[in-house]
């Protein structure tokens, strides 16, 4: 029964999206629990600064060497092979595994040796014990790219076979590993237990997928054929994609480097607020883009442009339909979200106020963060990885320059500093620099999605613009109605419950959020939104009429 469960296949894009969204949501709740444990155990201070810094370079290596190959090359290339011959397809996978993982192991060994130098570059503000702690954690975390590299390559192959359930459970297992590290490893090993929890999460991420991978037909071969046609094509396709991802991760590294020179806790506040906002992106946009990508790749391979563009329009509109209202809810209820999820233990009031401000800034760009997933996957499905890479590089450069300008302004312009304090209600708070980093990041994300949309329209002039704009108009009207209603309900509840207690804030958050969702649903129903009908037909009927 367990084998049947793990090897189950999604029958449609809608069911695949539902599976992915449900698992991402489960992973998101575990992520919230993880961050609450981290915030309550350590507070926004040196320990969490070190923890998030230790992630930067291992994530950078995994992204440019493995993750880029999966989304940009492995799925479409493996799909083209599987149509012709299963034997050729698995031969390609074996060669790719051996070459890429072998190279990844060598790279990580070299980086482990030079970790002290790397920490000096990515966190120039660290010194003494803080630097030594960062070196130790990063060295342990260099095991993670190797394990997750293998696991994510397997995920890409399983998605071609529509085995979305087992791939969707992998992130859940990853978070369980990190939580295990916080609860059981940290008391025994100290802060290094956080790093070992990350490694355990990677092992669980891989282990749950291996049985389904073998069941799909994979048989390992010791094949190091560097001249394999598929491997060469993978390298050619992944190179620009990897550069694009490298640019994005370089963004994180530069923000970390700047934040390391600021007050202790800046890196922690930025990452905690970003994690809270990323839950929306991962649950909605990542699940939808992952589910649609294989079928979009197939439509492009079969030269069915109308079908290709219709799939893009559907997933684009569904993403906006879900992300815009939830991002508005996050903006309106940001204080309640931070206080309920992170307001415990050593996480102080100043940390809370800064995180609330950063979360509000991030929420304004969530629609752009979500659409980047969709737009990038659309370019990759059409075998164009250069445009997203170039745009990503340009926006990273913009973010770096804009961040430095804003940080300079906040420190040397009294007028700008007072404006930021008043606008974000941060009177008396000293560490305003981190708010500037969040603001620069959000502006750069909006710029990136604007450029991607423009280039996609140039590439596909028959893009269904009217269909998208009609839907967007209804979404905006319904969202405005929801925003006004939710704000009034939040204020009414605030005068009815005690906001000095956890349960008072919790009920204000939950009841306001539920009311907002209900009002938005009713408004889109009245406006006859096609996206609401799609969700109802695709998802709800599966529960009401499972046999049909």
String of DSSP letters for 128-159: HHHHHHHHHHHHHHTHHHHHHHHHHHHHHHHH
Report pLDDT digits (tens) over 270-317. 999 998 888 777 677 777 776 777 778 778 877 778 888 888 888 889
Coil, strand or helix at 381: helix
* Domain with 483 in it: 471-548
Greater confidence (71 vs 435) lies with 435
pTM of this prediction? 0.80
Provide mean pLDDT across the span 12-34. 72
Same domain, 118 and 199: yes
Same domain, 137 and 92: yes
Same domain, 235 and 266: yes
The last residue of a domain, from among 422, 441, 463: 463
Joined together, the tokens standing for residue 378 give 């659309």
Distance separating alpha carbons of residues 169 and 209, to the nearest angstrom: 9
Provide mean pLDDT across the span 469-488. 95
Residues of the chain above pLDDT 70, percent: 91
Identity of the highest mean pLDDT range in 74-83, 327-336, 371-380, 411-420: 327-336
Can you list the pairs that 78-85 forms with residues at least 24 positions away whose Cβ atoms lie under 8 Å? 78/156, 78/157, 78/160, 79/160, 79/294, 79/297, 79/298, 79/301, 80/301, 81/230, 82/160
Same domain, 459 and 478: no
Q: Which of 16-25, 59-68, 129-138 has the lowest mean pLDDT?
A: 16-25
The last residue of a domain, from among 409, 444, 463: 463
Provide mean pLDDT across the span 81-85. 83
* pLDDT band at residue 53 under the 50/70/90 scheme: very high
Provide mean pLDDT across the span 180-191. 93
Same domain, 430 and 486: no
Same domain, 441 and 485: no
Q: Whole-number mean pLDDT of the chain?
A: 85
Query: What pLDDT shows up at residue 540?
Result: 53
* pLDDT band at residue 548 under the 50/70/90 scheme: very low
Q: Which of 8-17, 195-204, 448-457 has the lowest mean pLDDT?
A: 8-17
Query: What pLDDT shows up at residue 152?
Result: 84
Same domain, 26 and 113: yes
Same domain, 355 and 394: yes
Greater confidence (427 vs 402) lies with 402
* Total tally of structural domains belonging to the chain: 2
User: Position of tokens 């996978």?
Assistant: 93
| Residue 86 pLDDT > 60 | yes
Distance separating alpha carbons of residues 509 and 338, to the nearest angstrom: 10
Query: What pLDDT shows up at residue 162?
Result: 74
The last residue of a domain, from among 404, 432, 463: 463
Query: What pLDDT shows up at residue 12?
Result: 52
Q: Which of 20-34, 111-125, 239-253 has the lowest mean pLDDT?
A: 239-253
| Residue 5 pLDDT > 70 | no
CA distances from 480 to 43, 290, 334, 338 (A): 36, 30, 17, 23
Query: What pLDDT shows up at residue 545?
Result: 45
* pLDDT band at residue 112 under the 50/70/90 scheme: very high
Provide mean pLDDT across the span 421-439. 88
Same domain, 425 and 497: no
Residue (of 525, 24, 109, 503) closest to 280 by Cα position: 24
Same domain, 60 and 109: yes
Same domain, 361 and 482: no
Coil, strand or helix at 459: helix
Report pLDDT digits (tens) over 293-306. 777 877 887 777 88
Distance separating alpha carbons of residues 172 and 22, to the nearest angstrom: 11
Distance separating alpha carbons of residues 418 and 425, to the nearest angstrom: 10
Provide mean pLDDT across the span 407-436. 89
Beta carbons of 511 and 534 less than 8 angstroms apart: no
Report pLDDT digits (tens) over 336-391. 999 999 987 788 888 899 999 999 999 999 999 889 888 888 887 887 778 888 89
Query: What pLDDT shows up at residue 279?
Result: 78
Report pLDDT digits (tens) over 497-507. 888 888 899 99
| Residue 207 pLDDT > 80 | yes
Same domain, 446 and 535: no
| Residue 494 pLDDT > 90 | no
Greater confidence (142 vs 62) lies with 142
Residue (of 2, 88, 13, 31) closest to 279 by Cα position: 31
* pLDDT band at residue 155 under the 50/70/90 scheme: confident
């Amino acid at each position: 029964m367990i084998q049947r469960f793990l090897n189950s296949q999604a029958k449609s894009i809608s069911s695949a999206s539902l599976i992915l969204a449900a698992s991402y949501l489960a992973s998101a709740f575990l992520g919230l629990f993880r961050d609450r444990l981290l915030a309550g155990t350590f507070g926004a201070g040196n320990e969490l600064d070190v923890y998030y810094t230790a992630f930067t370079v291992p994530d950078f290596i995994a992204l440019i060497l493995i993750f880029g190959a999966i989304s940009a090359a492995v799925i479409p290339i493996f799909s083209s092979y599987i149509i012709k011959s299963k034997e050729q397809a698995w031969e390609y996978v074996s060669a790719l595994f051996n070459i890429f993982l072998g190279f990844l192991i060598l790279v990580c060994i070299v980086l482990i040796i030079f970790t002290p130098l790397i920490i000096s570059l990515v966190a120039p503000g660290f010194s003494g014990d803080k630097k030594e702690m960062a070196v130790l954690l990063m060295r342990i975390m260099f095991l993670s790219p190797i394990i997750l590299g293998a696991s994510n390559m397997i995920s890409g192959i399983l998605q071609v076979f529509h085995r979305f359930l087992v791939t969707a459970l992998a992130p859940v297992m990853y978070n369980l590993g990190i939580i295990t590290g916080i609860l059981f490893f940290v008391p025994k090993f100290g802060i290094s237990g956080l790093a070992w929890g990350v490694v355990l999460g990677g092992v669980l991420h891989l282990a749950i997928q291996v049985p389904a991978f073998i069941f799909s037909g994979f048989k390992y071969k010791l094949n190091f054929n560097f001249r394999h046609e598929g491997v060469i094509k993978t390298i050619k396709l992944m190179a620009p994609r990897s550069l694009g991802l490298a640019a994005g991760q370089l963004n994180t590294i530069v923000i970390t480097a700047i934040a390391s020179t600021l007050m202790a806790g800046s890196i922690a506040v930025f990452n905690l607020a970003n994690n809270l906002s990323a839950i929306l992106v991962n649950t909605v946009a990542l699940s939808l883009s992952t589910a649609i990508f294989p079928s979009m790749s197939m439509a492009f391979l079969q030269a069915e442009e109308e079908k290709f563009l219709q799939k893009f329009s559907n997933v684009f509109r569904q993403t906006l339909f879900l992300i815009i209202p939830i991002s508005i809810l996050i903006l309106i209820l940001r204080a309640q979200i931070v206080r309920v999820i992170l307001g415990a233990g050593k996480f102080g009031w100043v940390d809370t106020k800064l995180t609330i401000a950063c979360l509000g800034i991030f929420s304004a760009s969530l629609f752009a963060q979500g659409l980047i997933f969709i737009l990038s996957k659309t370019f990759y499905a059409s075998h164009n990885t250069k445009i997203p890479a170039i745009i990503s590089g340009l926006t990273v450069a913009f973010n770096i320059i804009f961040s430095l300008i804003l940080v300079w302004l906040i420190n040397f312009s009294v007028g700008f500093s007072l404006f930021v304090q008043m606008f974000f209600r941060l009177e008396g708070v000293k560490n305003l620099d981190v708010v500037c980093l969040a603001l620069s990041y959000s502006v750069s994300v909006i710029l990136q999605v604007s450029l991607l949309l423009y280039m996609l329209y140039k590439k596909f002039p028959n893009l269904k613009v009217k269909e998208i704009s009609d839907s967007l108009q209804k979404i905006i009207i319904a969202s405005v109605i929801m925003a006004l209603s939710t704000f009034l309900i939040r204020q009414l509840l605030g005068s009815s419950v005690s906001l000095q207690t956890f349960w008072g804030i919790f009920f204000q958050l939950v009841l306001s959020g539920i009311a907002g969702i209900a009002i938005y649903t009713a408004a889109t129903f009245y406006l006859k939104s096609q996206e609401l009908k799609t969700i109802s037909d695709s998802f709800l009927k599966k529960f009401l009429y499972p046999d049909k």
